[in-house]
Structure 1
């Protein structure tokens, strides 16, 4: 039932109540008229006067009752007409054009109207259903009940976790005409203001400061120490200066990689809730990444073996981001699994099954207790090993965020002494 239909229904119910009252007064009117006629025929003045007063009273009552049905004055009904029959058709039309989710509720929390933005953000609302049929948060339902009971506006913050995290500021307020008494409304507007980006930016800023300060402290301390050494004890030692400058260059390069990865992670988090809509052929993409990593693999003594199907292997995604995923997984396998000297890359496509991309190394493997935390920022199985291989600790965190945006899964299987398998399931 729409809002306008609800108001029309209220009007019909009021008319039926008025008609019922008039029907109940009709026998009194007939009796009074008969008494007046008999008194006139018998010349009984007292009865004529009494019957006349009764007829006058009934006439005044009928006039006032009809006026109440038309004007619905606060003295007769306790609710102003403007409070209930505020031109809701115009209000509904305006709400349809807004780009924020809007619901109009009755006093029993029935959803009378929802605009297109609400349907896009929250899903379809069953027509005339209770608010709890779609929003089951006890906090929201309590807020609505409190506003209906007190007539005062309320607001709260609400989070949705699926399909991606969204944060809304919910506000409910009664629909009242100017000057209408508090508590006289029968309709309420519930709005949703999306503040997800603001919350995400705040969290990103705090995370960036905390992570960057922690990770940059060591290379900055090294740079400062080497600079002081070159300016002091090694001021005239050309060989020592050359050695220290090489280490300083490595530390500065590490800081540069760290900042680049942090910025990349921040950009990914900004658009994690927006699924990509391009079609990408993974076969040439994986081959291109393998070719780019051949010099690194050759330096590490690793042979990259490809196991590719025939024809196209298409998925929905962002090509540049998928390049990051493939490059990161193959590069990690070469660096941390170089003891096995072989890295196998698989791309599988079977009828009725999801597309899978797998990278298998034959290195030392990862202890089981570390596997669940591999995609955390700056988490390292071995800090010394990671830094010696020029890792930032952010690679798998970036992979996780990209795959979350692509609605894909990262599956890690490892066995000590036998290697590790990273599988992306689209």
Structure 2
């Protein structure tokens, strides 16, 4: 097999491939490997190119024993790290033995696995606290507080609150699973956004009255209808307005305004904006870019006191992804927070 034919075969392999000879020098790199390691690497000792101990040991062992081995190789580019699964396979015969090392990018698989492990750990942590409290109260009611009516009533109220917290968490997890499943399905129905907001505010009036927070919808020019799922958009507005009332209640009011945007640079077209603003303590800027992460809380203690699960804004993000929209968050400590939902306007019928 001549060199040009071998080079053409390696060029067709959809993975970076490095051929190392018995002399421990690099004999061939396919174009993807050249892109990964650079040009002019052929003829160099593999130690000068593949400098990580794990892959050096793997190649050396394969050369000496003639048995395939597998390892991991990581490469950092600025702030990004790429992980590769490396398989070292012996090739050739007794007279021309060598090793073929293939590099498979497994970054997305590793990231997904880590996300799954983090998610399970977070859910377990969120459930463990109320479950521990319930078990403790049940043991107390069976023992020392068996005949204490006042303590029994107090414990039952607390147990009810913890059970409601678990129920909210389970419901939010189910909602998150559903919106993730439907995220790639574009809604096709036209929705009147101000009417949806009005219905949400009507349902939230009793809560705002109990919290002594004034809920104000600011009228404006006629808003065009948008393509959307009515139930999911209601869920977005409920989450944002409830959050504004709970976390911004010190400001005493929450306003909802609308705006027509001729062209949003990120959505690359005209959009409508629904702006939910509170006048509470605000959020430190270090937290803003992480607020839509699952289970992330800017103030963990306060969020749990208010019954938050840490999933509300993650649900909002996935719903807006389905609607090809986005969430814009602005906040200053001491000046309140502003959550703007931007939804693309449907194309005009020609």
TM-score interval (norm. to shorter) = 0.5 to 0.7
Give the equivalent residue in structure 1 for 2:259. 348
The reply on whether 1:422 has 2:339 as its aligned counterpart is yes
**In 2, are the aligned partners of 1:358 and 1:424 still within 8 Å (CA)?**
yes
Asked whether the equivalents of residues 223 and 272 of structure 2 are also in contact (C-alpha less than 8 Å), the reply is: no
Contact kept in structure 1, 2:275 and 2:338, CA below 8 Å: yes
Q: Cα 1:320–1:268, aligned 2, differ >3 Å: closer, same or farther?
A: same
Deviation at 1:312, TM superposition (A): 4.7
Q: In the alignment, which residue of structure 2 is the partner of 1:378?
A: 295
**In structure 2, C-alpha distance between the alignment counterparts of 1:247 and 1:230, rounded to whole Å:** 12
> Given the alignment of the two structures, is residue 255 of structure 1 paired with residue 171 of structure 2, yes or no?
no
Q: Which has the higher contact order (CA 8 A, sep 6+)?
A: 2
CA distance in 2, matches of 1:311, 1:336: 30
User: Secondary structure of 1:396's match?
Assistant: helix
Residue by residue over 1:117-147, the C-alpha shift from the partner in whole angstroms, topping out at 9 and shown as x without a partner, is: xxxxxxxxxxxxxxxxxxxx959x99xxxxx
- Counterparts of 1:318 and 1:376, CA distance in 2: 23
The answer to whether 1:358 aligns with 2:275 is yes
Deviation for aligned residue 1:305: 1.1
User: How far apart, CA to CA, are the structure 1 residues paired with 2:281 and 2:182?
Assistant: 36
What residue is the counterpart of 1:226 in the other structure? 137
CA–CA separation in structure 1 for the residues paired with 2:191 and 2:114: 32
- 1:63-212 equivalences under 5 Å are 138=32, 209-212=120-123
Give, in angstroms, the shift of residue 295 of structure 1.
0.7
Structure 1 or 2, whichever has the larger Rg, is 1
Q: CA deviation at 1:209?
A: 3.4
In the alignment, the residues of structure 1 paired with residue 112 and residue 181 of structure 2 have an alpha-carbon distance, to the nearest angstrom, of 8
On the 8 A contact 1:400/1:410 being kept in 2, the answer is yes
Aligned to 1:400: 317
Residue number in structure 2 paired with 1:410: 327
Q: Deviations over 1:379-398 (max 9, x none)?
A: 11111111111111111111
Query: Within 2, Cα distance between the matches of 1:209 and 1:331?
Result: 27
How big is the shift at 1:308?
2.6
1:369 to 262, 278, 286: 286
Q: What CA distance in whole angstroms lies between the structure 1 residues aligned with 2:111 and 2:333?
A: 38
Do the aligned partners of 2:257 and 2:275 also contact (CA within 8 Å) in 1? yes
When normalised by structure 1's length, the TM-score is: 0.52
Question: TM-score under structure 2 normalisation?
Answer: 0.63
Q: Which runs of 5+ in 1 are unaligned?
A: 1-107, 110-136, 143-195
- Matched-pair contact (CA < 8 Å) for 1:283–1:313: no
Structure that is richer in strand per residue = 2
More helix by share: 1
Aligned residue number for residue 291 of structure 1: 202
8 Å CA contact 2:223–2:260 kept in 1: the answer is no
Residue 303 of structure 1, CA deviation:
0.5
Deviation at 1:268, TM superposition (A): 1.2
Say if 1:200 and 1:270, in contact at 8 Å, map to a contact too: no
RMSD between aligned alpha carbons?
2.8
Partner of 1:244: 155
How far apart, CA to CA, are the structure 1 residues paired with 2:215 and 2:138? 41
1:213 is displaced (CA, Å) by 1.2
CA gap of 1:313–1:200, structure 2 versus 1, over 3 A, is: farther
**Distance in 2 between the 1:351 and 1:359 partners?**
20
In structure 1, the residue corresponding to 2:309 is in which secondary structure? coil
Alpha carbons of structure 1 residues 342 and 205: separation in structure 2 relative to 1, 3 Å: same
Counterparts in 2 of 1:275 and 1:204: CA distance versus 1, 3 Å:
farther
**Equivalent residue pairs, number:** 239
Q: 1:214 aligns to what SS in structure 2?
A: helix
Q: Give, in whole Å, the separation in 2 of the partners of 1:342 and 1:276.
A: 33
Q: Secondary structure at the match of 1:276?
A: coil
Partner secondary structure for residue 373 of structure 1: coil
